[in-house]
Amino acid sequence: MRVVVLRTYQLGEADRILVLLSESHGIVRAVAKGVRKTTSRFGSRLEPFMLSDVQVAEGRSLHTVTQAVSVASYGVPIVRDLDAFMYASAIAELVEMLAESQDAQGFFPLTIGAFAAMARQAYPPQQVFDAFALRALALAGWDMAVDACALTGETSSLSSFSPAHGGVLCTPQTRIPGAVILKPGTRELLASLKSGDWPGVLASSEQARRQAHALTRSYLGWHLEKTLSSLTRFERLP
């Protein structure tokens, strides 16, 4: 089956537990025996952010990887860039949370696309993360309203944002507790991120990018009821 490696954990002296997102079976956890040995037949095919074809032997709680063939190597260019590594790790953490209890078919191409974009340095890692998060939340049933007021459906005078109420709000709803006034260009940027309009994303201002990222994370936090440890861990670095 085709998988992308999300995370790995050491097991014993030479093995690893792998958290895999599969194209056909959602989240799969498996052991790669001897993968940490220099003589391992798996090589780098089972490192985080790698796309591989694997064969597994089913087990009671964990499967065992018996064969792995590399399809695409996203890991090396991602780990060389701290921002890309931070946001790719956050994507891996987020998709593991969301795909665990959802139909994972939509998450697989979305995840591969995000890792590929970061590996190619096609777009800024922060915006790749934001675009992924908005689309992943939509797949999970938490679509953010960006083109019309989340409460009234009005499409004009969209001037504020509330994660608790589902997205952007029109001017009459601005006084709702917790609503944040949108800076120029932020709503348009959120719409571009959701739709994959990368020329629109790249044309946005730094001010709009900062606010769109903050609103995306607040929206994630509201629905997940937790923060992504991958982001908070890296942000504490000096």
pLDDT value at residue 100: 75
Radius of gyration of the chain (CA): 19
The answer to whether the beta carbons of residues 169 and 151 sit under 8 Å apart is yes
Average pLDDT along the chain, 238 residues, taken 10 residues at a time: 89 85 87 76 81 85 84 90 94 90 78 95 95 95 96 94 95 88 97 96 97 96 90 70
Q: What is the pLDDT of residue 54?
A: 87
The reported pLDDT for the residue numbered 145 is: 97
Tell me the C-alpha to C-alpha distance, in Å, between residue 120 and each of 51, 117, 125, 212.
Answer: 15, 5, 11, 23
Sign for the CA dihedral angle at 134, 140, 142, 143 comes to positive
Task: Give, in order, the Cα–Cα distances in Å from 229 to each of 69, 181, 234, 236.
Answer: 30, 27, 9, 11
Q: Indicate the pTM of the whole model.
A: 0.91
Return the closest-CA partner of residue 22 out of 82, 120, 93, 95: 95
CB atoms within 10 A of CB 94: 24
Burial of 26 (0-12, 13-18, 19+ CB in 10 A): middle
Q: Which CATH number fits domain 2-73: 3.40.50.620, 2.40.50.140, 3.40.50.1000, 3.40.630.30?
A: 2.40.50.140
* Domain extent listing, the chain: 2-73, 77-143+183-235
Backbone φ and ψ of 188, nearest 5°? -65, -40
CA atoms within 13 A on the CB side of 3: 28
